[in-house]
A = this chain, B = another copy of it.
Amino acid sequence: MTETTETLSLAETLVRLSQVVQHVFAEVSREHGLTPQQAQLLCRLVPGPVRMADLARMLNLEKSSVTGLVDRVENRGLVTRAQDANDRRACQVTLTPLGIKLALHSHSNVMSRLDLLVNGLPSADTDQMASVLASILAQYSASTGHRM
Contacts and interface: CB of A to CB of B under 8 A. Distances in A.
Interface of A: 7-23, 25-26, 60, 110-111, 114-118, 120-121, 125-126, 128-130, 132-137, 139-140, 143, 146, 148
A15 B134 CA distance: 11
B129 A132 contact: yes
Given A11-B115, A12-B111, A16-B137, 5 more contacts: A13-B133, A15-B114, A16-B148, A20-B140, A120-B135
B110 A15 contact: yes
Contacts of A19: 148
Contact of A13 (B7, B9, B18, B137): B137
26 contacts: A8-B130, A9-B111, A10-B126, A10-B129, A11-B110, A11-B111, A11-B114, A11-B115, A13-B129, A13-B130, A13-B133, A14-B17, A14-B118, A14-B133, A15-B25, A17-B17, A17-B136, A18-B18, A18-B22, A18-B25, A20-B136, A20-B140, A23-B60, A120-B135, A129-B129, A129-B133
